[in-house]
Structure 1
Amino acid sequence: MEQNNLRRFAWLTVIAVIAGAGFFWMPQIALAHGDEDHGEAAPQMAQGPLLPRFSASSDALEVVGVLRGKEVDLFVDNAKTNAPVSGLSIEISADEFSVRATEVAAGEYRAELSWLGKPDHYPLIFVVDGEMEGDAFSDLLEATLDSVDMPALITPAMTKPASMRLADGQVAMYKATQHLLGIRTLPARFEDTRRAIALNGKVIADPTASGVVQTIQAGRIGAPEAGFPVLGQRVKAGEVLAWLEPAISSLERANQEAALAELDAQLKLAHSRSARLESLRGSVPNKEIEAAKVEVHGLEQRRRALAASVGQREVLRAPMDGVIGTANVVVGQVVNAGDTLFTLLQPNRLWVESLAYDASPLQKSAAARSEGVTFSLAEISRGAVLQDQAVPILYRILPPVPAIPVGQPVTVLAESQTQVNGVIVPSEALMRNGQGEWIVWLHDAAERFRPMLVQWEALDGARSLVRKGLHEGDRVVIRGAASLSQVR
């Protein structure tokens, strides 16, 4: 193959055959196996015509052709990623005949080979021009229709896309099905990267972006006019969340009433004295008259304050803008001083607290994952006092902050300074087989996938490092692996 920056040529020999009217027959094949009882009868593949198909690949493209009478359907994918390639110009020629394929869907083309007749050898030439990944290219494919080249035991459905688990554990899957499921691959490439260390952690609220509502005295809880706020409700700073009626014993109430009676008596005497001195104005110094008035005013203020304290409700307000995290209140509830009634937080400002038994080799950046959710972290600080013989490390969850509850256990994956070598793949590429062993799926042929046992370790919440089981250039399925594992 001769190539330059703008043009690449690939010669590919594609072998297929047209027998009779282009039909082949296969016996019935049941999907059950051994003597196992699968409950309902496993579906069987009915006898019927199997469309002849061929495949070919170059460094740039992977092509599968399906013959339907005199029509050929071409599925054209990126050879590295298995992504359908659109916008191509495909010309098919044989001797003096020539036809141009028409794109009918993304990466799917169709042409009518009107010159096909009785079974014979038909040399075909496919000229493919277009653009892929920003580069213009041209591939020249030579095809001789001479024999069948297809995955064995694949379902013989003529028009419906299908897939099937083969006896050796491999999966045969039509290209049309691959397009529907969005199967994507990536060539394996070994590289050095830093090893990740897994730490146990939990989500906590940012102390500067969270708050609590507590009582400073014992009493009975009452609801505001709008009712108590509920979990997850947003509130504003200063918003009334609840009322507290202070708890007063009979003795305390009697003492308050006695103090009020005493103040009433003193106030009555003070009023009388002030009135008497006012009537003697000019005969007594003015300062005595003013002093009597001040005494009356002071006693009135003391009485008002004491009377207001008897049965006065305490207003419990939100200390900040935020979301209600917990609410431990009901109408009539009796609480003690210091009880926490509400907690507030800002969901977009969360931390992760973790423990590391050896924090010295850890880098500042990290990632965390929990129940399928992955997010990035940035270290805030490290504790100077050990907790359970480990160093506490605080991380800030970087935007976008996931919808994860405070207190949720997480696994923190912190980079170390140790270098390891392997193939980096998305974590979703790793699957478990029926024996519980870890595997990845390899794209061995256009319509054939093979499970491969691997050894791996996590790098961060989204990526993993496969250390054993792969070879350079293996086409690893990085999207749609779960769909392949479900094929039976």
Structure 2
Amino acid sequence: MPHLLSRARAGLRRLALCSLLLATPAFAGPGGPDHQHGPEPTATALPQSPRLVAVSEAWQLVGILKGGALTLYLDRQEDNAPAAGVTLDLDIAGRTVRAEAQPDGSFRIPAEALGTGEIEVLATIGGAAPDLLVGTIRVPGAAAAPAAAHGHSHALSDFLHRRISVETVLIALAATGAGALAIGFLFGRRRAGIAVLALTLLAVSPSTAGPGGPDHSHGPETATAEDGDAPRRRADGMVFVPKPTQRLLELRTRRVVPEETARRVTLAGRVLPSPDAQAVVQPATAGRIVAIDGALPRRGQAVRAGDALALVVPFAAATGEIAGAETLRAPADGVIATVALAQGQTVSPGQTLVEILDPARVRIEAEAFAPLALAPTAAASIEARGMAPVPAALLGRAPALRGQTALLDFAPRAADHGLEIGRRVQVVVELPERRTAIILPRDAVVQAPNGLPVVFRHAEPELFEPRIVRFEPLDATRVAILAGIEPGEQILVQGALLVNQIR
């Protein structure tokens, strides 16, 4: 019996030792398919293509090395428009290469003409505006030889340079303590110290962190470089727009200069019928409505003064008799706007049954919340979404306020104004005072993601910087920039809304 117990105890010792040895690498596990620990990278960072950038006072040149060729984009500095009718020669290491013009307006040379390393390029522009530009491009050499394959053995230096998470260390220490208790029970006090030492070395060995990837890394690397050729908004707020995308979106810029302009104010207004072009039809007697020839007037019907619209038959008249009936007639030329008639309807004297308007003769009632000193000949324009500005003239101003607002009447100067009665509009009025401001198209000012108005400064050939501005509208198509940009800066005036959508 003692012999059987001794053999059983020896077997349990071997089983416990094997379990501990097998469990040690499991503290971290093999990781993912490439032995990494942590989430898989969601996207692969693509390197940005090598670039040649050269600028002068008149031109900006960007070359992109991609697909076995150097594609060059030559644009005018004044408006960012592609160059036309020019030639482009490149001096590379003493050799002159003529860039071949492409149908899309770009130029191209084969990549073999560059060589490798950091290459200085002298670009000669021929044509109506000759110029010389200098730039450099770094061309990568042959691909590096693949790293020698290595197994999952981990040297002490790898272990010392590897970062181990706090959770891994705590799990290892807990497992060591549990293992020490088990070894003390199974192996006795004499061998317990040696066994605990061996277990500790196994628990904190390099295998605790797992084999990792080929470079012993655990988890995806954090990309710090902004790679790729796609448009993007950088962390500093600058918007990277590659030259091919600029050509596609037709981005245009302008070097801004201050201009003298009159100060303008925008008033909310509404289109109303002119008082002398509005008429109503009201009966003088009571009775029932009878249609003329079976037809009653309808909305939108054009009428002339004196046209018969309907009959008002007295109540005393027998059915079918129209003797003594009153004929309702149009008092003025125009178009019927409202109709409140029905066959057999009873009406009373002074009741408005038909309203007639002349759509060509309108007035605009505008509300001013601040005192305005306007000259009788003050220039004004009426603006509404989807239509061109309409010049207007000031008719007059009400002597009393209505709800803390002053009422002003304006009339369009053109007969074919296209303003619909009842439509909400804006009236832009020019004030006597003059000032100096930078004038930009209204589309150049967009709303940034934070809600502030911004314009985009063309900082570099492929970079646009958002600038917060303060502005006032001048008319339907222009704004006056009061603060935020400086004279002489190159500002994006076409395509700002598209650039603002880049994230």
Please give the range of the TM-score, normalised by the shorter of the 2 chains.
0.5 to 0.7
Q: Report if the CA contact (8 A) 2:281-2:330 is conserved.
A: no
Q: Tell me if structure 1 keeps the 8 A contact 2:118–2:136.
A: yes
Q: What are the within-5 Å matches in structure 2 for residues 87-486 of structure 1? A: 87-94=85-92, 95-105=94-104, 108-113=105-110, 115-116=112-113, 118-130=115-127, 136-146=128-138, 156=228, 162-207=230-275, 210-212=277-279, 214-217=281-284, 219-220=288-289, 222=291, 229-230=298-299, 233=300, 235=302, 237=304, 243-250=309-316, 253=317, 309-310=323-324, 312=325, 314=327, 316=329, 319-320=332-333, 325-329=337-341, 333-336=345-348, 337-346=350-359, 350-356=362-368, 358-362=371-375, 364-371=378-385, 375-383=389-397, 385-388=399-402, 392-398=407-413, 403-486=418-501
Q: Which moved more, 1:367-376 or 1:466-475?
A: 367-376
Give the C-alpha shift of residue 470 in structure 1.
Answer: 0.9
- Kept in 2, the 8 Å contact 1:205–1:350? The answer is yes
Identity, % of aligned pairs? 23
**Uncovered stretches (5+) of structure 1, i.e. residues with no partner:** 1-42, 131-135, 258-306
Aligned residue identity for 2:477: A
TM-score, L = length of structure 2: 0.63
* Offset, 1:174: 1.6
Q: Distance in 2 between matches of 1:458 and 1:325?
A: 35
> Aligned partner of 1:479: which letter?
Q
1:366 partner letter: A
The structure-2 alpha-carbon separation of the partners of 1:44 and 1:373, relative to structure 1 and needing over 3 Å to count, comes to: farther
Once residues 362 and 334 of structure 2 are traced to their aligned partners in structure 1, the CA distance between those partners, rounded to angstroms, is: 15
Give the conservation status (yes or no) of the 8 Å contact 1:431–1:440. yes
- What letter is aligned with 2:272? I
Deviation at 1:222, TM superposition (A): 4.1
**Does structure 2 conserve the Cα–Cα contact (< 8 Å) formed by 1:70 and 1:116?**
no
Give the C-alpha shift of residue 163 in structure 1: 1.7
Residue identity in the other structure for 1:214? V
**Residues 119 and 456 of structure 1: CA distance in aligned 2, closer, same or farther (over 3 Å):** same
Q: CA deviation at 1:411?
A: 2.8
TM-score, normalised with respect to structure 1: 0.65
Check the 8 A contact 1:456/1:468 in 2, yes or no.
yes
1:140 Cα shift? 1.9
Aligned equivalents of 1:71, 1:50: Cα separation in 2: 15
What residue identity is the alignment partner of 2:380? A
- The corresponding residue for 1:275 is none
For residue 339 of structure 1, report the CA deviation from its aligned partner.
1.0
Per the alignment, in what secondary structure is the counterpart of residue 74 of structure 1?
strand
Query: 2:156 maps to which residue?
Result: none
> Deviations 1:30-63 (Å, cap 9, x if unpaired)?
xxxxxxxxxxxxx975444532223332222222
The Cα of 1:67 is off from its aligned counterpart by 1.6
SS at match of 2:117: coil
CA offsets 1:13-45 (integer angstroms, 9 cap, x no match): xxxxxxxxxxxxxxxxxxxxxxxxxxxxxx975
Question: Deviation of residue 382 (structure 1)?
Answer: 1.9
CA contact (8 A) 2:53 2:62 kept: yes
Equivalent residue for 1:13?
none
Deviation at 1:113, TM superposition (A): 2.8
- Separation (CA, whole Å) in 2 of partners of 1:365 and 1:426: 20
1:337-360 CA deviation, whole Å, 9 max, x = no partner?
45152433335x543222455443
1:246 is displaced (CA, Å) by 0.9
Q: Secondary structure at the match of 2:123?
A: strand
Contact 1:366–1:460 (CA under 8 A) maintained in structure 2? no
Aligned length: 373
Q: Residue 115 and residue 180 in structure 1: after superposition, are their counterparts in 2 closer, same or farther (change >3 A)? A: closer
Whichever residue aligns with residue 445 of structure 1, its letter is E
Q: Distance in 2 between the 1:212 and 1:109 partners?
A: 66
Q: One-letter code of the match for 1:125?
A: L
Farther-moved stretch of structure 1 (440-449 vs 408-417): 408-417
Q: 1:223 to 1:420 in 2, by over 3 A?
A: farther
| In structure 1, distance between residues paired with 2:115 and 2:343 | 89
Q: Kindly state the Cα deviation for residue 188 of structure 1 after the two structures are TM-superposed.
A: 2.3
Distance in 2 (alpha carbons) for counterparts of 1:447 and 1:342: 61
Paired residues of 1:155 and 1:163 also in contact (CA < 8 A): no
Structure 1 residues 239 and 400, CA gap change in structure 2 (3 angstroms): closer
Query: Judging changes above 3 Å, is the alpha-carbon distance between structure 1 residues 466 and 404 closer, same or farther for their aligned structure 2 residues?
Result: same
Contact 1:154–1:164 (8 Å) recurs in 2 = no
**SS of aligned partner of 1:77:** strand
Distance 1:216 1:446, change over 3 A: same
Aligned Cα root-mean-square deviation (Å): 3.7
Q: Post-superposition shift, 1:178?
A: 2.0
Task: Specify the structure having the higher radius of gyration (Cα).
Answer: 2
Q: For 1:77, which of 75, 78, 84 is the aligned residue?
A: 75
Listed as ranges, the gaps of 5+ residues in structure 2 are 1-40, 141-223
Amino acid at match of 1:109: S
What secondary structure, in the 3-state scheme, does the structure 2 residue paired with 1:364 have?
coil
Contact 1:87 1:103 in 2 (8 A): no
| 8 A contact 1:221–1:243 mirrored in 2 | no
Secondary structure in structure 2 of the residue aligned to 1:484: helix
Could you say which structure has the higher strand fraction? 1
Please say if residues 65 and 73 of structure 1, whose CA atoms lie closer than 8 Å, have aligned partners that are also in contact.
yes
- For 1:102, give the aligned amino acid: A
Who is 1:29 aligned against?
none
Secondary structure of 1:457 counterpart? strand
Distance 1:244 1:400, change over 3 A: closer
